Amino acid sequence: MNTPDSLASKWLDRASSDHTIVFLLDALKQNNCPTGPLSSLVKNTTCGPDRAGGFAMNVTSIESSTLDKSSQNYGGKKTSSAPKPTIVICQNNIYDYPDYLRTLSHELIHSIDQCRAKADWSNLKHHACSEIRASNLSGECGYGVELLRGNMKHRGGHIDCVMRRANLSLKANPNENGEGEEVIKEVFPQCYADLYPFMRHPGSN
């Protein structure tokens, strides 16, 4: 019988050769973030409900119960070495391999933003921008995925999904005091158009 941890382990092994994941790992290297094998960056663990993943920089050990919701960072022992992302995948909340890939891509894009732009996760504009990029580029707002959520809007549905998911993440930021939607609207045009490291939107044909 496949348990959540055994399935997640298989998915992690499989993801290491996925072309999008390999491409995102290469982007991390280009932004001076040490990477190494995917298995050295990713920890499959058990989380509370409604949490798919997270990431931290310069962490050698992770406690799944300690999550800094403002930064998407799991608590752990900090190191003084060059910044290296540690990505957490909440194996008990991942439904299948495509969902695993979308979650992993989402967190890798956050990691890229941290390395490239030195994002300040207490700054709502920084947080909002990275959430917009991660939701836009990870595939989590694809039409088929939205259909499974019961959202059947076709025209404009992708933008609505990105804004909705960015807003949900921003609400977990302790510095958000009801202004999250306005912050998202302010930064949305620039951040939605920022496709880095892709040359074109990965969902385009």
CA distances from 165 to 62, 117, 119, 128, 129 (A): 25, 21, 19, 10, 12
Q: If DSSP codes are grouped into helix, strand and coil, which group holds residue 178?
A: coil
- Looking from the CA of 54 toward its CB, the CA atoms found within 13 Å total 28
Catalytic pick among 63, 107, 146, 176: 107
Q: What are the backbone dihedrals phi and psi of residue 191, each rounded to the nearest 5 degrees, phi first? A: -75, -35
Crossing angle of helices 97-117 and 4-15, in 10° steps, is: 60
Q: 166-189: buried (b, 16+ CB within 10 Å) or exposed (e) per residue?
A: bbebbebbeebeeebeebbeebbe
63 in active site: no
- Contact residues for 61 (Cβ-Cβ < 8 A; gap 6+): 76, 77
Characterize the bridge pairing of strands 73-78 and 85-90: unpaired
φ/ψ of 30, rounded to 5, equals -65, -20
Catalytically active residues are 107
